[in-house]
Structures are given as structure tokens and as C-alpha cells.
Amino acid sequence: MATANTEKPAFAPIKTQRAFEVICEQIRAQLAAGTLKAGDKLPAERELAAQFQVSRSALREALRSLEVAGIIRNLKGVKGGAVIQSAEPDRIVQAMQDYVHLGDVTLDELTEARIAIQDIVVRLACERGTEAHFAELEQIAERTRAETSVEARYECAAAYYDVLARATGNRMFGIFVDSLSGVLHEFVQGPGYETLQETLIDSRFKLIRFLRARDAEAAAEEMRKHLERVYRHVRKNIKAQAGSGGARKA
């Protein structure tokens, strides 16, 4: 053995290129280059496997990877095959949920990030939102009041935040908001959630009024107070059930 350089190994970690990885890379590259775009259709598995000169198993693992990444959708039957999907933020939310479940992010971090993001969203929505947006928000808020089940009300809340994010005209904020509230939703499974609902719904209507008045400061302040209320409630529940198997790390 030659004497190892103690300073810096400088050896690139060997990267065994597996067949399915190469396939994924090639398809992703064509996607980034624009050769492939949403709606395009790939050949059938058997033919594609022949083109790549790999077995159908290896190709299927590649297609499966691309599918769970939300890039393609596999169609059955004759004239089937893989079609390039249009963009769906779901996978990003999924990735963030995985990240949180693997235990590196605390409730405090999630909440702080959410408050910061929503602050931006509210201010931009206040500036750029149209009356159509505000009307939609109002409609959702009224529907929330009508709903009774916790799950239905959460659906309404998600829709509310989604419209708010759309009002910014920037889809990236929608992604951030969806990700954070998707993850935080798991924490909001405690008792005494109903008692808070009246306050929360009032806050939504109040926010809409501020948005219509184009009062960014007041709107942002209202949203911040709202989120902090929810946070305090969630935090209390977390401590109550401290480590009962559910989402921990709070």
C-alpha cells in the first residue's frame, strides 16, 4: 500500500451507476433540455427496454422512480405507456413531509417558517389580489363556518390558504405554503380544536376586509396573530401527548 495522504484523500467516492439511474438521468436530461415536455408519450415498456438495451425489470424501476417523482404517469392497456405529467406540487409536499418525519425539523421551525412565508404572501396578495380572489376567499370562509367535521374544516383551510397564495401570482409561494401546512396538519390532531374554530373563522373574515382595503400592514398583522394562536394551541396539545407515538420532535 502506498502511504495515504493524510491531508486530503481527494478520492471521489465511487458511484456505482446502476442501470435505472442512468435511465432516469437521460429522461430527466431530455426534460431539462426541452426535448421532452408535458404531454409527450414514451414508448411501451418492452420497446423502451429494447431501446435502452436493458431488461424490463431495470426499466420498470426507472419508470417507477420517475412516477413517484411525479414526472410521468403510467397508462395501462393498448396504446398505453408513460406520459410526461404536467407539474404538480404534491411531490414537493411529500418530500417535505418525508424530511420532517425523518426527524430533522421541529414544530418551532415549521411554525416560524410558516409565519414568515405567510407574511410575504399576505402582503403580495394585498397588493396584487383581485376582487375575484377576495370573493373566493369569502366564499370559502363561509363554507368553513357551515362545515362541522374537523377534516372538512381543514380542507377549507387548505383551500383558503391556496387561494391566498394564488393571489400573489407566484406559484412558488403556493408550494411553500402547501408544504408547510401539509406537514403542520399532522400536528393539529388534538382535542379542543373545535373551541378555537370560531376565533379562526372570524380572523379569516377580518383578513379579507383588510385585503379589500389594501391595508397590507393590518392584513399581515392579522395573519401573524392568527398563526400564533394556532401555534400555541398545537404546542399545548403536543406537550399533552408528549411522545405518544404521533408526530414528535416538538
Each residue 131-170 as x (binds a second copy by CB under 8 A) or -, in order, gives: ---------------------------------------x
d(CA 171, CA 162): 10
**Is residue 47 near DNA by the rule CB under 7 A?**
yes
d(CA 94, CA 96): 5
**Is residue 69 near DNA by the rule CB under 7 A?**
no
Query: What is the number of alpha carbons within 13 Å of residue 62 lying toward its C-beta?
Result: 24
All three cell numbers of 204, joined, read 379569516
**Is residue 20 near DNA by the rule CB under 7 A?**
yes
CB contact at 8 A, 152 and 112: no
**Is residue 39 near DNA by the rule CB under 7 A?**
no
**Is residue 176 near a second copy by the rule CB under 8 A?**
yes
Selection from 45, 114, 107, 36 nearest residue 77 by Cα: 45
Of 77-85, 150-158, 175-183, 218-226, which part binds DNA (CB under 7 A)?
77-85
Q: What is the 8-class DSSP label of residue 83? A: E
d(CA 157, CA 146): 13
**Is residue 71 near DNA by the rule CB under 7 A?**
no
d(CA 7, CA 64): 42
User: Closer CB to a second copy, residue 85 or residue 197?
Assistant: 85
**Is residue 37 near a second copy by the rule CB under 8 A?**
yes
**Is residue 33 near DNA by the rule CB under 7 A?**
no
Angle, helices 193-212 vs 150-166, to 10°: value is 20
Contact residues: a second copy, CB under 8 A: 20, 24, 28, 31-35, 37-38, 57, 60-61, 64-65, 68-71, 84-89, 91-92, 94-96, 98-105, 109-110, 112-113, 116, 120, 170-173, 175-176, 180, 186, 245-248
Chain positions contacting DNA, by CB under 7 A: 18-20, 43-47, 53-58, 60-61, 63, 74-82
